[in-house]
A and B are shown apart, each in its own frame.
Chain A
């Protein structure tokens, strides 16, 4: 029994509209002369006309200006005759002493309308055409007045009294500052052009449709919502459409803002159903955009929402808004309560009134949407099992009522839920779901189930043309394929280097499928209405909790990928759509990261940061920052990375579930390893391990990373057997949880351990296995570093293998130099020098530059990295070469460097102090 049955969009006479009518009468008096009395020039007359036109256009706004605001605006419009206009207006109002006067007033008004059949009009005659905009407005006012009952006229009369009274109450202060105001307005007029342009550029971001040609810009209907948004915060300040008079309004605002807050006053300005619905949708968007960030005060909106049900008890959308608000301020009970209340009252149909009502749904209500929302809510509050139960029920009910749209969304939500919950915590969930969809797959693993759900959802969304859902499903699919390597068992082997879907090209293809659909939004607006406002809420929730450490994207950006092309239309692109596009860039960056192409990854991240960064949500921006910092650490050394980290920390420390700490630990660990500060490194490892096991469950990937780092620390401490124990155990874990990529790096680590322990023969098979893993999963960079290790192992077998090692190295050099980080490159250079030096056929004296160049490169890069161990090795080799060549001075220099690095390596405490 939604309250929508009543006439929506009723046009009611208000005091403000009467003001406009009075002005209209001045503009077009019934006496027919070329230029009516107060106007001194035609342009002045036209100016008032334009002003009136804009006033009538925004008469459907939720809030109407107060009398004194109108007078302020008139001051600008009327120029020298503003006093006359104001006087006339107030006099006219004060002459309305009884309801009868109102009746007479509207009778008089009728006179200024030209008769529709007056065919021949003299040129200089001013007639209000009944079919013009102004004429229509006028007629609507008269009609609405005529429809009023006597009680209605009485109410109008008393509200006019209030309207005038408020103006008078503030007039005392107003007069006091009158002199200033006059000078101000004077000043404004002088600089009108400059000022208007200034303001226009300032406002361009906020209101795309500022029309520069009209200096007294008024909000056109599209801008209404923007204005309202400001109104909520401070009903006075930002409703000012004419920005030039901000100063004057501020003076007035102090006096009347208190009045605005009273209930009586707001009921006076309560508007039609559609206006309020639109307003609420806008508010919902605002809540979603700002989320739980501290800048957005949820209490202010809450107090506003509490008042609305009093004024409009049949407007149930308010409850949904309160739910959203509570959801974002993490108030579980209030959120639950409001959600249930909303669906109890509206049966899920209100808020979807833009959707053409389909017969089957309207009969039973749409309670499946309630289930979907409830599921999302449970998920967000960290009750995955409850959420799964609810979503299962949602699937069943939507199937029953054949609501395919809801089903598609539900399946997407479910797959998201399953993939989010991670691998470790799902076993408890598996037993408890009985959905027809999921039960068919009950024997499958979670990953497979996620895949099936995604496929199903995608198929439905595709056939229903739910573009947003399609896009987000494509994104999820791309992410899934990136995360879960699907390996056909038969063709596994080092020979078959086939294309997996982890290949960036295929990921991009998948993403583009989504992005392509999104760009359709710019041209057509129908999908927006099809999806309704709630869908943006769903998508937001769908998007919100992505985020295992490797691939995580959250986004809230307001612009689109094809930014420059679309920025004209950016108003018409829903926030959720541009979110998706932003997310797709981050995902692309991640896929390149996997593949090992650092420049591509960096480029995509940068695209994201520059185009979407300014308006993206904080968690998204954080992720982009993290990626860039990681890049810095690898390619520019730790100093730069830590400097950047400091900036990021200031910016994102308030974000919930911040990943900053994680990155900091990783960086500190790397650095401690390089500097040889093993105690610190061990501590960092332990802290990482601690982060992996949260109250929500165990984050497997983080856990794996922590133990990988532990093994590396042990390796650096030369505790080979312990290191290899940890690595072996790690390999088993990875195998158990099907973490293919991690497997490759663990194998490499094992090879590394054997290499360091001098057991090259044992290391070889590990290195080879790692290479074959990398090959089949297209992990090019990892493969390059595995090849390097392989070459090192060969060399370790004896100097007679130096040639073979060198060949291997040269084969992989392009990849290493093109995409590798500082450490890898330095290692390659040093190794190359090593190979040459150990090659018996190589003579230092004849070909010294080959070796020296490599070593110089290496030591430069290691300097940035502060990697003392390798740097010492490079210096040592350099000193040896110089010694052979007999260049004593340079030898001493290199030796000094060597000494410095060795001392630094043995006294890591000094470095740590710098670091802190």
Chain B
């Protein structure tokens, strides 16, 4: 078990080091985790602890399998292997101090110029990093300047070439530190050299594990589980954060949840972990739980914008208009020019049925971040609502091209084509979507419906799909009913009866009633009567008698027929008997 105190000391040092190198987002992340560690109550006043404990009752309710008591054996701890790097300069050079203040004022080129002759590792890194950021800034400007008739011109960071050259020279002489390796990895990734980038980043995180930015870059390069498994990473608690994140992106939600559960033992109050857990739960469609988690998150961290788009999705799914508008208002006041904020507002308008406005906000989100995946997909949904299928298809396709494993977008594409009356064409997209998420009954049902359309009428295939849906625990209960009906249509009464019975069981278990119930009962009663299984038939008939309407009459006549048959009369309908 990792000692909390150790963690705390490590992170404290790391934050200082990261901030010295102007790696602010990594420092921010580390800071969040630092506060996330349960404080030693003796050191703090009760007010402090109360702030921290916030709503731990709720937390306890949902994290039933806290793994604090049973740490996973696989996660060893090897802090000794990665000692904190001692500060190489006890007294920072004057020029470094100047450069850092330039950097903080976002004058990157100036900062890098000031450091041009500095030799200390910290200064060298800051020089390169400032240069890189200067190039990035220029790149973004150029993108807008060079926007041609055929879309954005491919502006590139012009510093990459010289950066790569200098960093690889540094690396070959061994004068590179872990931060330099991180930057080198980033540069290599941008240049498209992924293998080397991975190697460089792995080296970086192995020698200095507290740089979350390096881990995130590494995650973005792990597009398959094979790549992830091949990584040769030292054991460290940061690795568990990384794995949790990577598993989540690879749609291995249960594995990811296990990691986060474990980490929560140490970082009991980490907002980050809570948000990630919520994300994973969201993917598992546990909406109620996710909603509560986000509520708590917002209570602790009311000005948080990150991940709030996910919360808005949950609220959307639960059709909680008021809560969604409250959230939208809040993020709007906090920072209206964040893609997440625009997305939340878009969601709100979508829920209100104002699709044009929703599209406008999704567009704004995409203007802020061209590669914002969920905005593309959500915009696609809006266009579908607006019956503008070509635009929807375009939006979905962009999402798919950004991330080919986005099953929602594939599904959207399939839906759009199905809407246009091209079910056969749509099938390909449904298949793609199912490939990435084979355990979702909704996708299987969509595909089955496609096969069922009158244009295709490939019922056998539809049956196969529905069977898969049933195996994936279809929560809406469409599949069983459809299976039964299809079998009935194809004249396979035995199978039909089997599925009707199953469907009946399901409805009984969930306490549902409705036309499906009547249909199942009527069919079963008739079926069993025809097969001379009068007892079963009677059971179903009597159940039918509980309801009013035409079914009741039907049941009565059926019962009469059964009596007749049982008393030895030829099994004939009584009505047709001229007496």
A370 to B413, CA, bound (A): 14
Tell me which of A263, A341, A364, A370 contacts B156 (CB under 8 A): A263
Closest chain A residue, CB of each to CB of B151: A314
Tell me which of B149, B413, B422 contacts A8 (CB under 8 A): B149
**CB within 8 Å for A310 and B425 given contacts A341-B397, A364-B420:** no
Tell me which of B148, B389, B396 contacts A312 (CB under 8 A): B148
* Interface membership of B401, Cβ < 8 A: yes
Contact status B154-A434, CB under 8 Å: no
Hey, which chain B residues are within 8 Å of A7, CB to CB? 149
Hey, which chain B residues are within 8 Å of A786, CB to CB? none
Contact status A267-B455, CB under 8 Å: no
Contact status A371-B425, CB under 8 Å: yes
Closest chain A residue, CB of each to CB of B397: A344
Closest chain A residue, CB of each to CB of B428: A340
Hey, which chain B residues are within 8 Å of A344, CB to CB? 393-394, 396-397, 413
A344 to B426, CA, bound (A): 12
Hey, which chain A residues are within 8 Å of B423, CB to CB? 393
Per-residue CB contact flags for chain B residues 135-165 toward chain A (1 = under 8 Å, else 0) read: 0000001000110111111101000000000
Per-residue CB contact flags for chain B residues 439-470 toward chain A (1 = under 8 Å, else 0) read: 00000000000000001110000000000000
Closest chain B residue, CB of each to CB of A150: B145
Hey, which chain B residues are within 8 Å of A315, CB to CB? 150-151
Contact status B455-A393, CB under 8 Å: yes
Contact status A397-B149, CB under 8 Å: no
Hey, which chain A residues are within 8 Å of B389, CB to CB? 364-365
Closest chain B residue, CB of each to CB of A400: B421
* Interface membership of B417, Cβ < 8 A: yes
Hey, which chain B residues are within 8 Å of A263, CB to CB? 154, 156
Contact status A267-B153, CB under 8 Å: yes
* Interface membership of A212, Cβ < 8 A: no
A8 to B150, CA, bound (A): 9
Which of A269-277, A530-538, A649-657, A895-903 is found at the contact surface with chain B? A269-277
Closest chain A residue, CB of each to CB of B144: A151
Hey, which chain B residues are within 8 Å of A345, CB to CB? 394, 397
* Interface membership of A396, Cβ < 8 A: yes
Tell me which of A267, A276, A314, A341 contacts B154 (CB under 8 A): A267
Which of B141, B149, B401 neighbours the largest number of chain A CB atoms within 10 Å of its CB? B149
* Interface membership of B71, Cβ < 8 A: no
**CB within 8 Å for A1 and B151 given contacts A367-B420, A370-B425:** no
Hey, which chain B residues are within 8 Å of A370, CB to CB? 425
Hey, which chain A residues are within 8 Å of B156, CB to CB? 263-264
Closest beta carbon of chain B to A63's beta carbon, Å: 16
Contact status B422-A397, CB under 8 Å: yes
Closest beta carbon of chain B to A452's beta carbon, Å: 21
Hey, which chain B residues are within 8 Å of A389, CB to CB? 424, 456
A393 to B148, CA, bound (A): 38
* Interface membership of B386, Cβ < 8 A: no
Contact status A347-B393, CB under 8 Å: yes
* Interface membership of A200, Cβ < 8 A: no
How many residues in B have their beta carbons less than 8 Å from beta carbons of A? 32
A299 to B396, CA, bound (A): 29
* Interface membership of B390, Cβ < 8 A: yes
A407 to B424, CA, bound (A): 17
Closest beta carbon of chain B to A317's beta carbon, Å: 10
Within 8 A of B (CB), among A838-889: none
Within 8 A of B (CB), among A285-319: 310-315
* Interface membership of B391, Cβ < 8 A: yes
A310 to B401, CA, bound (A): 13
**CB within 8 Å for A347 and B394 given contacts A151-B145, A340-B428:** yes
A336 to B427, CA, bound (A): 13
Closest chain B residue, CB of each to CB of A9: B149
A390 to B455, CA, bound (A): 11
Closest chain B residue, CB of each to CB of A8: B149
A450 to B396, CA, bound (A): 38
* Interface membership of A422, Cβ < 8 A: no
A276 to B456, CA, bound (A): 40
A10 to B152, CA, bound (A): 15
Interchain Cβ contacts under 8 Å between A and B, 21 examples = A1-B390, A1-B394, A7-B149, A151-B141, A263-B154, A267-B153, A272-B149, A273-B149, A313-B150, A314-B150, A340-B429, A344-B393, A344-B397, A347-B390, A367-B425, A370-B425, A371-B425, A390-B425, A392-B424, A393-B422, A396-B455
Closest beta carbon of chain A to B159's beta carbon, Å: 13
A263 to B192, CA, bound (A): 13
A400 to B422, CA, bound (A): 11
Closest CB pairs A-B (n = 7): A314-B151, A312-B150, A344-B397, A365-B390, A313-B151, A347-B390, A310-B154
A381 to B154, CA, bound (A): 35
* Interface membership of A810, Cβ < 8 A: no
* Interface membership of A736, Cβ < 8 A: no
Q: Which residues of chain A have a CB within 8 Å of any CB of chain B?
A: 1, 3, 6-8, 10, 149, 151-152, 155, 263-264, 267, 270, 272-273, 276, 310-315, 336, 340-341, 344-345, 347, 364-365, 367, 370-371, 374, 389-390, 392-393, 396-397, 400, 434
Q: What 15 new A-B contacts, CB under 8 Å, besides A312-B150, A389-B424?
A: A1-B390, A6-B150, A263-B156, A267-B153, A270-B148, A312-B148, A313-B151, A336-B428, A344-B393, A345-B397, A365-B390, A371-B424, A393-B423, A397-B421, A434-B457
A393 to B401, CA, bound (A): 26
A865 to B578, CA, bound (A): 91
Hey, which chain A residues are within 8 Å of B425, CB to CB? 367, 370-371, 374, 390, 393
Contact status B394-A6, CB under 8 Å: no
Hey, which chain B residues are within 8 Å of A149, CB to CB? 145
Closest beta carbon of chain A to B173's beta carbon, Å: 28
Closest beta carbon of chain A to B261's beta carbon, Å: 39
Contact status A367-B153, CB under 8 Å: no
Hey, which chain A residues are within 8 Å of B457, CB to CB? 434
Hey, which chain A residues are within 8 Å of B149, CB to CB? 3, 6-8, 10, 272-273
Which of B148, B152, B393 neighbours the largest number of chain A CB atoms within 10 Å of its CB? B148
Closest beta carbon of chain B to A535's beta carbon, Å: 21
Contact status B455-A341, CB under 8 Å: no
Per-residue CB contact flags for chain B residues 395-422 toward chain A (1 = under 8 Å, else 0) read: 0110001000000000001000100111
A345 to B456, CA, bound (A): 25
Closest beta carbon of chain B to A902's beta carbon, Å: 67
Closest beta carbon of chain B to A484's beta carbon, Å: 30
A314 to B401, CA, bound (A): 13
Closest chain A residue, CB of each to CB of B429: A340
Tell me which of A272, A311, A400 contacts B153 (CB under 8 A): A311
Hey, which chain A residues are within 8 Å of B417, CB to CB? 367
Tell me which of A10, A273, A396 contacts B421 (CB under 8 A): A396
Tell me which of B148, B150, B391, B422 contacts A1 (CB under 8 A): B391
Closest chain A residue, CB of each to CB of B154: A310
A344 to B398, CA, bound (A): 9
Hey, which chain B residues are within 8 Å of A400, CB to CB? 421
Closest chain A residue, CB of each to CB of B426: A393
Hey, which chain B residues are within 8 Å of A8, CB to CB? 149
Contact status A397-B420, CB under 8 Å: yes
Closest beta carbon of chain A to B347's beta carbon, Å: 22
Hey, which chain A residues are within 8 Å of B393, CB to CB? 344, 347, 365
Closest chain B residue, CB of each to CB of A391: B424
A389 to B423, CA, bound (A): 10
Contact status B397-A367, CB under 8 Å: no
A400 to B153, CA, bound (A): 39
Hey, which chain A residues are within 8 Å of B396, CB to CB? 344
Closest chain A residue, CB of each to CB of B427: A389
Hey, which chain B residues are within 8 Å of A374, CB to CB? 425
A528 to B424, CA, bound (A): 31
Which of B148, B150, B425, B457 neighbours the largest number of chain A CB atoms within 10 Å of its CB? B150
Closest beta carbon of chain B to A195's beta carbon, Å: 40
Closest beta carbon of chain A to B300's beta carbon, Å: 41
A447 to B390, CA, bound (A): 38
Per-residue CB contact flags for chain B residues 60-100 toward chain A (1 = under 8 Å, else 0) read: 00000000000000000000000000000000000000000
